[in-house]
Structure 1
Amino acid sequence: MSRAITDPALAQCALADLFETHSNAVFFGGAGVSTASGIPDFRSQDGLYSQRFAYPPETMLSHGFYEAHRPEFYDFYREKMIALDAKPNACHLKLAELERAGVLSAVVTQNIDGLHQAAGSRAVYELHGSVHRNICRSCGAVYDAAWVMSREHDGDDGVPVCPACGGAIKPDVVLYEEPLDEEVLDGAVRAISQADALIIGGTSLVVYPAAGLTRFFQGDSLVIVNRDPTPQDERADLLISCDIARAFEF
């Protein structure tokens, strides 16, 4: 039976002990990692899927919607997907510290906010891409999130246009109906399969294929840090049910 912890102080002690006894840990995280940074998740009570929009969020974040309703796509993308003022929280910062200490080999994230890199993490596999890369579909020029938010290169319909060639800009984000990047996926699978500990944090583990990556873990310690239960809780050696930023304040 999994050991369960709800007290943040005990969670901090348990995680500190884990990293003292493992030297090749991997962190696999989702939207809950960034909620303490002010970025809403998707499936919680206050998440994006509980809010009312003209279309369901999963529709507006689909490849088909991007192609057919580009102005509405960019309205939603700018308002809900880009958070330029967000700062790394205690979880992001601790993970970067653990990487520098040589005990955390990689972060595998479903998030697109770039906060792990902002905190200093270098080995980051972004399964769903990043809002900080927006690519011209014609010439391949890359523009950052601030460029998109500036609206300086928008057409009359409010959609950004490449100033170099006039081509359409698409965020380097994996939308619904699109496959994961094979190179990123292969790197994540390799990191997880070689890890001696896997810490899963801030994810409901219901979004596939990302949630299926946990099956490649062959190490001795599986930890799940999530406020709500997940479908994979029975596999865990340790369950931590508290605020993830608090849990990583050690």
Structure 2
Amino acid sequence: MDQNISKLAGLIKNSPRTVVVTGAGISTEAGIPDFRGQNGIYRKLGEDRVMRIINIDFFRRQPEEFYKFYRQYFHFPPVEPSKAHVVLADMEKNGHIYGVVTQNIDNLHQKAGSKKVIPIHGNAERYVCPARHCQAEYETSYVDNYPEVVPRCSQCNTILKPDVVLFGEQIYSYIDAREMILSARLVIVIGSSLTVYPLAGFVREFSTFTQDLVIINKGPTYMDHAAQIKFDTNHTGDLLEKVNRLL
């Protein structure tokens, strides 16, 4: 383990552009439940049911049923960024990493102080008015305190939408996320089994051009064979802290 930590620090030192890709695993260390984990809602409720409801068509057709479900299962507990989030922000501040592409919608990278973050699935702490002529934005507190199940825009009365990518929608910032990953010299994947596309495809595409891929994840991923280093751990913060000390 210590040898690989030194090796990772060396890769970062020699990389002119390092990009970090994060999935649910980095946020479980902060207390955010993993939807696809052992106790996640995909296991408890069935992936088909979740995908049917957290879907753009269902949101448009049955907004009340959508919001009943969303309020119950997609309301994150108030948590602080994990040690891993904080260390990554520090590494960016000191020029060791260029930016982060994340699948997570919990806003923890931004709260920790990371500046260059591309949240391809959106931000659950924000709601937007989908009306083209309006597009007002609201914080969670507005929706939490709204007197009805379905929140509406205070300016035009349109039903608000969580600012997250629902099934049936395109990811946010597709071109920017792909470009950030493919322009890196070193990509470090943290807390993702690399099963969700298109992000997994971006990492796969990157790995065909260079060998500087590092994976930090509890359990196997679909790209372990392509990684120069693979760490199997759920103590990412401690690991990154050791790496950061060597930089």
Q: Distance in 1 between matches of 2:47 and 2:221?
A: 30
Q: Distance in 2 between matches of 1:102 and 1:55?
A: 42
Q: Is the 8 A contact 1:106 1:124 kept in 2?
A: yes
CA drift at 1:161? 0.9
Q: Distance in 1 between matches of 2:25 and 2:62?
A: 29
Q: Is the 8 A contact 1:94 1:249 kept in 2?
A: yes
CA drift at 1:63? 1.1
Select the residue among 172, 183, 188 that pairs with 2:177: 188
1:65 matches 2:58: yes
TM-score (norm 2): 0.88
Distance 1:213 1:51, change over 3 A: same
CA drift at 1:232? 1.3
In the alignment, which residue of structure 2 is the partner of 1:143?
Answer: 138
Distance 1:11 1:40, change over 3 A: farther
% identical aligned pairs: 37
- 1:162-181 equivalent positions in 2, closer than 5 A: 162-181=153-172
Select the residue among 25, 34, 39 that pairs with 1:46: 39
Q: Distance in 1 between matches of 2:220 and 2:46?
A: 27
Other structure's SS at 2:98 match: strand
Other structure's SS at 1:57 match: helix
Q: Distance in 2 between matches of 1:56 and 1:126?
A: 25
- The count of aligned residue pairs is 237
Select the residue among 74, 85, 91 that pairs with 1:81: 74
Q: List structure 1 segments (4+ residues) > 4 angstroms apart after TM superposition.
A: 9-14
Gaps of 5+ in 2: 243-247
Gaps of 5+ in 1: 1-6
TM-score (norm 1): 0.87
Q: Distance in 1 between matches of 2:174 and 2:193?
A: 19
Distance 1:142 1:238, change over 3 A: same
Q: Is the 8 A contact 1:189 1:216 kept in 2?
A: no
Highest RCO, 1 vs 2 (Cα 8 Å, sep ≥ 6): 1
Q: Is the 8 A contact 1:30 1:111 kept in 2?
A: yes
Matched letter for residue 144 of structure 1 = E
1:33-67 CA distances to partner (integer Å, 9 max, x unpaired)? 10011111122212221123797222221112212
Select the residue among 229, 242, 245 that pairs with 2:237: 245
In the alignment, which residue of structure 2 is the partner of 1:34?
Answer: 27
Select the residue among 185, 202, 207 that pairs with 2:196: 207
1:221 matches 2:209: no
Deviates more, 1:86-95 or 1:63-72: 63-72
Q: Is the 8 A contact 1:12 1:249 kept in 2?
A: no
CA drift at 1:105? 0.6
